[in-house]
A and B are shown apart, each in its own frame.
Chain A
Amino acid sequence: MKNRFKTAFDEITADPVLLRKTSAFLYMQASAKPRRHLPQHKALAGLAAAALFFGAGIFLYRFYTVPMAYVGIDVNPSIEFSINRLDKVVGSYAFNAEGKAILSRTDIEGKAYRQALEDIIAEIGAEGYLIQDGLVTITVQADDLSRQAPLQSSVETIISGQLSHYPQAPSAEVLPISGEVRKRAHGCNVSAAKYLALQELMEVDESATFESYSSYSIGEIRTQTDSCRQHRAHGAQDTASSAESVEDTAGFVDTVEDTASSVESTDSIINSSEACGTGEKKRHGHHN
């Protein structure tokens, strides 16, 4: 038997009129809007007004909308927003679908970057991305280098405060980056934080590419990097201990017993090499 709560609330339903109006509204929003043709005199009046304010508008536009600094947030939602000289958010961008979803629910443009960052972290937390073994990576980059250190310090304080609300908070890091790194990352369509992590991975795994790992979280990329480093280290040890067996094999060994043991050792070396790559790669610095 239903309890009275169920019986009472069962009587509250969406009526057909509401549903029809909603369907019609959604249809309008979903379809492309037709171009509206203005009467000629209205169009000319509009052009004249635009010309009148053009000069002042250009100045104000550049003052208020030109980004002077950038903050990137990478959990698995991967987002970057830009800040003007007044510390207001003037643009935002998502590098993946998860980031796009977060941005669709947080109206950050025009807000102070502190509030925007808090709102984004809160929404990311509400979506369940802030898990205990996770990693929150923030990058900061300011065109004016004198703003970079204070911005980084402010962001660290905000992140620390926000994550303290979560009893099982992930670890967090705030990385200063250069404009060059940010541009290169955008060129690969990944966040700056992920770009740096992928660079480290590609140094130890020749088979890794931006395309193959762009959907991974930074934590996962770093785990893979650490794993490859360990494989390479073990591979070097196996190579040293099997040097005798390899020499015998190369000389077409005489006894079956020697051949069997050296083939085993060689297989283990090959397996390690295939997992992580063994090519030499020049290390690139993070700040150019």
Chain B
Amino acid sequence: MGTGGFPTADIRKDPFMKTEAETNLALQKYADTIRRICFMHLRNRNDLEDIFQDVFLKYILYCGVFETEAHERAWLIRVAINACKDLQKSFWRRKVSCLDDADLSNISISDSSKDLLDAVLRLTPPKYRDVIYLHYYEGYKASEIAHILGQKENTIYTWLSRAREQLKKQLGGEVFEESVQNSI
């Protein structure tokens, strides 16, 4: 991964802007997470690059202090989800509704994963994909997901429950139970 030759701190436009080291570290830590969130919402490479860059631009311009790495990760996740939602508010934007719609440029999906990922992308409304991803992959509890998404905890439980029902119908009950086995 190239460093991009970031300017030193004293010639940054904004003194609150993140340094080169901080930015490269953030890319290293969170790029895959942001990529996965974009995967669940965006159809094409151009949208992916726009949103991906926009998220990290907001990160480097953010002048608040992250108390912990967990706080930093949660902040980036929320910014990414909101950025994807804002893009899709445009009426001519067609949303991702299955694996065929998703942007898989430079990604190779194994056959064993295709059914599961396709089932996740078929969840409607799209907010169910976020809660399923945050819970079963990132390992967040419902209370933590509620804080990230700015929702009430009970709302998250409802969304998770409905998402699980949809996934069970698509994958079959046994396959779904096996998929979430050993999840946090």
Given A5-B180, A30-B13, A128-B147, A23:B4 Cβ within 8 A: yes
Contacts of B60 in A (CB 8 A): 26, 29-30
Q: What distance in Å separates the Cβ of B82 from its nearest Cβ neighbour in chain A?
A: 9
Q: What distance in Å separates the Cβ of A224 from its nearest Cβ neighbour in chain B?
A: 24
Whether B180 lies near A3 (C-beta < 8 A) is yes
Q: What distance in Å separates the Cβ of A78 from its nearest Cβ neighbour in chain B?
A: 13
Contacts of B147 in A (CB 8 A): 128
Residues of A within 8 Å of B, CB-based: how many? 42
* A6, A21, A97: residue with the most chain B Cβ atoms closer than 10 Å: A6
Residues of B within 8 Å of A, CB-based: how many? 59
* B39, B64, B179: residue with the most chain A Cβ atoms closer than 10 Å: B64
Whether A104 lies near B4 (C-beta < 8 A) is no
Per-position contact with B for A133-161: 1 when CB-CB < 8 Å, else 0? 00000000000000000000000000000
> Which secondary structure characterizes the binding site on chain A?
helix
Whether A2 lies near B182 (C-beta < 8 A) is yes
Contacts of B52 in A (CB 8 A): 14, 18, 22
Closest residue of chain A to B12 (Cβ to Cβ) is A30
Closest residue of chain A to B50 (Cβ to Cβ) is A25
Interface residues of A in 1-39 (CB under 8 A from B): 1-9, 11-27, 29-32
A89–B2 alpha-carbon span in the complex (Å) = 41
- Is the C-beta of A58 less than 8 angstroms from some C-beta in chain B? no
Per-position contact with A for B11-34: 1 when CB-CB < 8 Å, else 0? 111001100000110010001101
Whether B106 lies near A5 (C-beta < 8 A) is no
Whether A3 lies near B16 (C-beta < 8 A) is no
Interface residues of A in 117-133 (CB under 8 A from B): 122, 125-128
Contacts of A20 in B (CB 8 A): 1-2, 4
Q: What distance in Å separates the Cβ of B143 from its nearest Cβ neighbour in chain A?
A: 12
- Is the C-beta of A100 less than 8 angstroms from some C-beta in chain B? yes
Contacts of A167 in B (CB 8 A): 152
- Is the C-beta of B112 less than 8 angstroms from some C-beta in chain A? yes
Closest residue of chain B to A122 (Cβ to Cβ) is B150
- Is the C-beta of A51 less than 8 angstroms from some C-beta in chain B? no
A12–B27 alpha-carbon span in the complex (Å) = 15
A4–B56 alpha-carbon span in the complex (Å) = 29
Whether B2 lies near A126 (C-beta < 8 A) is no
Whether B136 lies near A30 (C-beta < 8 A) is no
Interface residues of A in 73-128 (CB under 8 A from B): 97-98, 100-101, 104-105, 122, 125-128
Q: Which of A13, A19, A105 touches B58 (beta carbons < 8 Å)?
A: A105
Interface residues of B in 91-138 (CB under 8 A from A): 105-110, 112-113, 116-117, 132-133, 136-137
Whether A13 lies near B182 (C-beta < 8 A) is no
Q: What distance in Å separates the Cβ of A127 from its nearest Cβ neighbour in chain B?
A: 8
Closest residue of chain A to B135 (Cβ to Cβ) is A5
Whether B113 lies near A4 (C-beta < 8 A) is yes
Given A9-B137, A22-B52, A30-B13, A3:B182 Cβ within 8 A: yes
Q: What distance in Å separates the Cβ of A100 from its nearest Cβ neighbour in chain B?
A: 5
Whether B7 lies near A104 (C-beta < 8 A) is no
Closest residue of chain B to A22 (Cβ to Cβ) is B53
- A residues engaging B (CB < 8 A)? 1-9, 11-27, 29-32, 97-98, 100-101, 104-105, 122, 125-128, 167
Q: Can you give 12 contacting A-B residue pairs, CB < 8 Å?
A: A11-B113, A13-B35, A18-B106, A19-B1, A23-B3, A26-B23, A27-B5, A27-B6, A97-B64, A100-B63, A104-B61, A125-B150
Contacts A3-B181, A22-B52, A32-B11 known; 14 new A-B pairs at CB < 8 A: A1-B182, A3-B136, A3-B180, A4-B178, A14-B31, A20-B1, A20-B2, A23-B27, A26-B53, A26-B57, A27-B5, A27-B6, A97-B16, A100-B63
